């Protein structure tokens, strides 16, 4: 029997203390996700320790179809696909004459309240960001 895929829809705030960052940890990291299979839209707000805020919006298709998103002055080419209950998002980014490869593994806790984003075998290997669902006000 096929299990339905997890629904990542919601507002998620990173628990900085529970997370492991490759590089300086942000002061705050907030993700707003709209997930309606196979479309997946992510809006991220990163607040650096200095207080500087960066906003990023990306769109993926979870069926493995390639998408392109502008990130900072670069273009990221992305393919997202399911591996069981885990969403694997692979991206290539051309920046400053180099190509960076990222492979992000997303999983949702059984209670649906914790979203874990883990980089296992890419340019950010070892980075694990633990997000907690923000309840609507």
The yes-or-no verdict on residue 1 having pLDDT over 50 is no
The residues with which 7 forms a beta bridge, in sequence order, are none
Q: φ, ψ for residue 100 (rounded to 5)?
A: -105, 140
What pTM value is reported for the model?
0.91
What CA–CA distance (Å, rounded) separates 47 from 43? 13
Q: φ, ψ for residue 21 (rounded to 5)?
A: -110, 145
50-65 average pLDDT score: 95
Give the per-residue pLDDT at 71: 83
134 Cα distance to chain centroid: 16
Confidence band for 135, pLDDT divided at 50, 70 and 90 = confident
Q: Which is it for the CA torsion 59, 14, 125, 86, positive or negative?
A: negative
Show the 3-state SS of 70-111: EECCEEEEEEEEEECCEEEEEEEEEECCEEEEEEEEEEECCC
List, in order, residues 6 or more apart from 97 with CB less than 8 Å away. none
Q: Could you give the C-alpha distances from 39 to 16, 19, 42, 63, in angstroms and in order?
A: 28, 27, 10, 9
- Each residue's pLDDT tens digit, 76-91: 999 999 999 999 999 9
Domains of the chain: 10-133 (2.40.128.20)
Confidence band for 95, pLDDT divided at 50, 70 and 90 = confident
- Each residue's pLDDT tens digit, 112-122: 999 999 999 99
């Amino acid at each position: 029997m096929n299990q339905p895929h997890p629904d990542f829809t919601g507002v998620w705030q990173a628990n900085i203390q529970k997370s492991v960052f490759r590089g300086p940890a942000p002061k705050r990291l907030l993700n707003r996700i709209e997930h309606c299979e196979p479309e997946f839209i992510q809006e991220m707000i990163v607040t650096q320790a200095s207080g500087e805020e960066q906003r990023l919006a990306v769109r993926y298709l979870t069926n493995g179809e390639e998408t392109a998103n502008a990130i900072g002055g670069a273009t990221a080419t992305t393919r997202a696909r399911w591996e069981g209950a885990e969403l694997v998002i692979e991206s290539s980014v051309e920046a400053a004459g180099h190509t960076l490869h990222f492979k992000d593994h997303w999983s949702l806790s059984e209670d649906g309240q914790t979203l874990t984003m883990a980089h296992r075998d890419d340019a950010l290997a070892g980075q694990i960001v633990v997000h907690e669902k923000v309840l609507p006000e």
